């Protein structure tokens, strides 16, 4: 009886070993890709450049003279640029992490041999 269990365990081990690369690049990659989309959405929620762009002509601190409008436009314009650059950097970091995930099994096999 125990020999059948041992045979089944060894068979399952080798089948899992053969299935692992297929899962890594299909189901696992899909899960990591959804996680990366979540990270990008979190970064967008953190930096929110579109919100600053939407309010670019709204005077800061309720100061409605020409100086207030000009300062508001200048400050928000640079805020939009700075936050957009940060969001692009965050996008590049997340993309790099996804590419590392894809390359990891190849690198491990390379390092073994």
Q: Chunked in runs of 10, what are the mean pLDDT values of the chain (113 residues)? A: 90 93 95 97 94 88 86 93 97 98 94 93
Q: Are 59 and 69 a contacting pair, CB within 8 Å?
A: yes
Distance CA 41, CA 88 (A): 12
In 3D, which of 108, 95, 102 has the Cα closest to residue 28?
102
pLDDT value, residue 61: 82
14: in domain = no
Greatest pairwise CA separation for the chain in angstroms: 89
Instruction: Provide the domain limits for residue 93.
Output: 29-112
Q: What is the pTM of this model?
A: 0.82
Number of folded domains in the chain?
A: 1
Position 85 in a domain: yes
> Do the domain assignments include residue 70?
yes
Residue 5 lies in a domain: no
In a domain, 107, yes or no: yes
Q: What integer pLDDT is reported at residue 56 of this predicted model?
A: 87
Residue 8 domain-assigned? no
């Amino acid at each position: 009886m125990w020999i059948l269990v041992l045979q089944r365990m060894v068979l399952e081990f080798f089948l899992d070993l053969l299935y692992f690369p297929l899962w890594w690049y299909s189901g696992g990659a899909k899960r990591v890709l959804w996680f990366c989309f979540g990270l990008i959405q979190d970064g967008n929620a953190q930096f929110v450049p579109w919100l600053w762009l939407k309010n670019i002509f709204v005077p800061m601190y309720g100061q409605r003279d020409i100086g207030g409008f000009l300062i508001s436009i200048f400050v928000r314009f640079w805020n939009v640029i700075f936050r957009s650059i940060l969001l692009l950097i965050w996008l590049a970091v997340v993309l790099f992490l996804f590419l590392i995930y894809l390359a990891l099994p190849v690198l491990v096999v390379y390092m073994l041999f």
